[in-house]
């Protein structure tokens, strides 16, 4: 995968334009930890940051399939000690952490809706989609502050604004993550630590493709027909599902020097699906 080239306004001198574009794409020397980085959106982020020159550590409970960008560390982020142990292991490999991308999450789907959800269902999603981020940040922030700065990106969800009744605990946890991200950005900005949220809409990951294939099998159709039906139910103005690379390109920009004045913001990337401003 080549360097993402983002056209930017600059002077008429072509060398100035080229220098500015290099500044956006170049992460040489950066050291990044990507939690939940072995598949889907996380794997795409790891690949793009590695391609941009960053040294990358990725974590998950299990190693992903195929060629994995970055150095893999097994970690269970849904335990109280898991995030701090991961950060310690990542620091042992990287020396310092300049960039943290938190893509860990838990989503409990309950077909019968909120009245069928137990306390355990709620606590699982709050723990996996909110507290895992809080614990990771708590472990990584002292080093970033001591080093004079850093970047944290939390991966949220469009579900925080468009909650579905079958996954309400997940939506609530991601909404809480948005509030937490804003508050954290306000607190650590004076230390030159930037915190942003990226909220994907419907992204065609392997998990979504499996879900679409299951729907196709149930209705006796094929994957393409199931995808078209899904888009009729969730009409995306751009007319397609998002890709993991779409999200990864945004994250790559947010952790780059070109985004040095961006913090405390929620970047919705959903092809226009969200019907409000």
Give the pLDDT confidence score for residue 1 in this predicted structure: 44
Residue 242 above 90 pLDDT?
yes
Give the pLDDT confidence score for residue 66 in this predicted structure: 65
State mean pLDDT over 253-267: 97
**Alpha carbons 80 and 63: distance in angstroms, whole number:** 21
State mean pLDDT over 238-253: 96
The percent of residues above 90 in pLDDT, for the chain, comes to: 74
**Alpha carbons 105 and 21: distance in angstroms, whole number:** 33
* Res. 233 pLDDT band, cuts 50 70 90: confident
pLDDT tens readout for residues 100-120: 999 999 888 888 888 889 999
pLDDT tens readout for residues 14-42: 455 445 555 567 899 999 999 999 999 99
3-state secondary structure 94-113: HCCCCEEEECCCCCCCCCCC
Give the pLDDT confidence score for residue 114 in this predicted structure: 87
Question: Quick one: tokens of 16?
Answer: 């100035």
Of residues 207 and 88, more confidently modeled: 88
Just list the catalytic residues.
170
pLDDT tens readout for residues 156-203: 999 999 998 889 999 999 999 999 999 999 999 999 999 999 999 999
- Which runs of consecutive H residues, i.e. helices, occur in the chain? 14-25, 40-51, 82-94, 119-126, 132-147, 168-188, 206-219, 223-233, 244-254
3-state secondary structure 225-259: HHHHHHHHHCCCCCCCCECHHHHHHHHHHHCCHHH
Classify domain 27-203+243-269 at the CATH superfamily level. Answer: NAD(P)-binding Rossmann-like Domain (3.40.50.720)
Give the pLDDT confidence score for residue 13 in this predicted structure: 41
**Phi, psi at 196, each rounded to 5°:** -135, 160
Mean pLDDT (the chain, rounded): 90
Domain positions in the chain: 27-203+243-269, 204-241
Give the pLDDT confidence score for residue 19 in this predicted structure: 54
* Res. 211 pLDDT band, cuts 50 70 90: confident
């Amino acid at each position: 995968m080549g360097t993402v080239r983002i056209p930017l306004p600059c002077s008429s001198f072509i060398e100035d334009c080229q220098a500015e574009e290099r500044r956006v794409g170049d992460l040489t020397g950066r050291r990044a930890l990507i939690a939940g980085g072995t598949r889907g959106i996380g794997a795409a982020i790891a690949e793009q940051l590695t391609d941009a020159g960053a040294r990358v550590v990725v974590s998950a409970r299990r190693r992903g399939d195929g060629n994995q960008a970055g150095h893999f560390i097994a970690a269970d982020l849904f335990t109280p000690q898991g995030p701090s142990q991961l950060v310690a292991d990542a620091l042992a490999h990287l020396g310092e952490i300049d960039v943290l991308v938190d893509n860990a999450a838990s989503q409990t789907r309950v077909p019968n809706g909120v009245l069928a959800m137990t306390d355990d269902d709620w606590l699982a999603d709050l723990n996996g989609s909110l507290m895992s981020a809080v614990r990771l940040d708590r472990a990584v922030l002292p080093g970033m502050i001591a080093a004079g700065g850093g970047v944290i990106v939390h991966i949220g969800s469009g579900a925080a604004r468009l909650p579905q009744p079958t996954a309400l605990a997940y939506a609530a946890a991601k909404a809480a993550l948005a509030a937490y991200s804003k508050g954290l950005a306000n607190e650590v900005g004076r230390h030159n630590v930037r915190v942003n949220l990226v909220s994907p809409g419907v992204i065609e990951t392997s998990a979504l493709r499996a879900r679409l294939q299951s729907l196709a099998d149930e209705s006796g159709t094929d994957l393409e027909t199931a995808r078209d039906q899904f888009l009729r139910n969730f009409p995306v103005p751009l007319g397609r599902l998002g890709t993991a690379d779409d999200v990864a390109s945004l994250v790559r920009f947010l952790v780059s020097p070109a985004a040095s004045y961006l913090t405390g913001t929620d970047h919705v990337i959903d092809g226009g699906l969200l019907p409000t401003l």
